[in-house]
Amino acid sequence: MAAHGGREGEVPGPARAHLLAGLWRAAPRGAPVQRAGPHRQGEGAHRHRSRSPRLWLGGVAQPGNRSDEGRHRCGRRLADPQRDDQRGERRVVGLVPPRRWRGHRLLTARRSGDRRRRERSRGAPHRAHAAVRPRHGRHSSCRRGLRRGDHRGEGTRREDPRRDGVSFDLLIRNTSEVVTCTGEGTAEAMLAPIKRGCVGIREGRIAWLGTEPTEGATLELDARGGFVGPGFVDCHTHVVFAGDRSDEFELRCQGRTYLEIAATGGGIAKTVTATRAANEDQLFKLALPRLERLLKHGVTTAEVKSGYGLDVESELRMLRVVRRLGEQQPISLVGTLLALHAIPPEFKTDRAGWVRLVIDELIPRVASEGLARFNDVFVEQTAFTHDEARAVLEAGLRHGLKPRLHVDQMTANGGAQLAASLGAVTADHLEQISAEGIAALARSGTVAVFAPTSTLFARARPFAPGRALRDAGVRVALCTNCNPGSSHSENVFLAIGLACVENGMTPAEAYLGFTRFGADAIADSSLGRLQVGAPADVTIFSADSYRALPYHFAMNSVAHVVKDGQLVF
């Protein structure tokens, strides 16, 4: 106290903390004295200092090397993508790059072909990944305190990744199961799942299927326990159109039927007017977000119909837009000419004239430009007859266009038998199909295509008899039928749920409807299945089983979509 100016004497009043507060004074501030000392062992200009690798290379942040997480108190007990995000290494959730550390460089994961002499007695080395740290049975990968030449020779790093044990461009792993859709027998057997399987992809195609690959990959995709299956095939859509028909939806909610609305100038005719008024760029911009929504629902291939132009130039313009869309967004598109969708207003009194124009001019021009794979006709009381459909479809066959039909949707008119007699690839809708029609489809091998969202949306009943068709051995595909009038929805999972609840199908049958049988409906057996050599169109789900898709009703369970080996969602 004397040193701080205290004096002897009695302190008046009760002692309080304030009497001592003045004794604690801040020490005078000044530059600290710090002398440079000698380098500690392991330090120096030619050696790594014992500090975080994040501070190497002039302070530029570096990815973690399986030991930084503990030092920086981050990443412990976190999933791989969370650690990657903290390091700024990856921004796409679920992508986990296999890596190993060599000095300041990230190299591909070590495999059994590397370090063979050094590890021959111990067998294949462990796979390096983000969760492995040096203390897990290995020496530190940093090699601090060693000269560069002390632990590596010239030419150790190889430029060709396959020589480092990497043969896949993309490897999908950590799945609950890989549903291949390549089996035979019952629907459940057709799924042919691989429990906890992996999918190896190279150059846009599936190169390997199994439980654990012996080769590495440039990039890994962590399924996080979800199941993996083929990309969905939406085999019946009308996504190229202009205009809005929400007023008609309101009328249906008030009790008006689809046929009543169409009889007063609504329905398809209203969309035709708006579509004819739109140019190619406008139709392209309107369709693009619809396809983006389909992609987010796991669709990698879709069939797209014309049918809202109903004159030669407008129909051609729609199909050219389909081709352009297929070139400028990820989903592969298959064009279908649907010139006999409705009677054009100019031909109300000369419907035979429109049929002749389609046969003589439109079909040859579509075929010469390669704008479509299929030729479709709407057979109904308010649309076209059996004879008109047969004439147009046979003309399409002469030009290489395969037949499809909209039949038995609103009335039972023998449309399924017509499709079978023509050898049509598909017969679509079928809410009113007869027992004779079911037997005809079973004999011909024609694929039945259900659009349960349309049945619901149009407030029509009954739903198509899925149980009867499947029991008869008919392949049943499903579709969204995305269109402005009877199914303004891109929700694949709504269609899957309705197929189980209303069409009488099992979850396995519904799943096949958007994969294997959906591919059959566009006559392409390379799609809708996961098999070596097939296009790498893959959907990764957050659900652990296909059974969850209809059960979690209308809920989108897609986590990632791979198209031709590229992650597109």
281 pLDDT above the threshold of 80: yes
- In angstroms, how far is CA 286 from the centroid of its own chain? 21
What letter represents residue 346's amino acid? E
Q: Rounded to whole angstroms, what are the CA distances from 545 to 195, 207, 494?
A: 11, 24, 17
**Sheet of 198-202, strands arranged across:** 95-96, 216-222, 166-173, 198-202, 205-210
Residue ranges for the known binding site for Zn(2+) are 236, 238, 406, 481
538 backbone dihedrals φ, ψ, rounded to 5°: -135, 140
104 pLDDT above the threshold of 90: no
Of 35-49, 128-142, 170-184, 341-355, the range with the lowest mean pLDDT is 128-142
Closest to 538 (Cα-Cα) out of 517, 507, 558, 561 = 561
70 pLDDT above the threshold of 50: no
Mean pLDDT of 344-350: 94
Question: Domain 232-526: which topology?
Answer: TIM Barrel (3.20.20)
Mean pLDDT of 430-449: 98
Residue that wins the pLDDT comparison between 310 and 36:
310
Closest to 242 (Cα-Cα) out of 275, 288, 208, 284 = 275
Across all residues in the chain, what is the average pLDDT? 81
Contact predicate 391/371, CB 8 Å: no
Instruction: Give the pLDDT band (50/70/90) at residue 350.
Output: very high
Mean pLDDT of 361-374: 98
* N residues, the chain: 569
3-state secondary structure of 107: strand
| pLDDT on residue 166 | 63
Residue ranges for the known binding site for Fe(3+) are 236, 238, 406, 481
Contact predicate 433/465, CB 8 Å: yes
Rounded CA gap, 316 and 363, in Å? 10
pLDDT in tens, 206-224: 999 999 888 889 999 999 9
**52: Cβ contacts below 8 Å, ≥ 6 apart:** 68, 71, 72
271 pLDDT above the threshold of 60: yes
Rounded CA gap, 18 and 31, in Å? 31
Residue ranges for the known binding site for N-formimidoyl-L-glutamate are 308, 483, 485
Instruction: Give the pLDDT band (50/70/90) at residue 143.
Output: very low
Mean pLDDT of 93-112: 46
H-only helix segments in 402-554: 415-422, 435-444, 452-457, 466-471, 492-501, 507-513, 516-520, 548-551
Residue that wins the pLDDT comparison between 298 and 30:
298
Residue 448's H or E segment, with its range, is: strand 447-450
Instruction: Give the pLDDT band (50/70/90) at residue 261.
Output: confident
Mean pLDDT of 267-275: 93
Residue ranges for the known binding site for 4-imidazolone-5-propanoate are 245, 308, 341, 409, 486
241 pLDDT above the threshold of 60: yes
Residue ranges for the known binding site are 236, 238, 245, 308, 341, 406, 409, 481, 483, 485-486
| pLDDT on residue 25 | 43
Name residue, tokens 């369970």: 557
pLDDT in tens, 72-84: 444 444 444 444 4
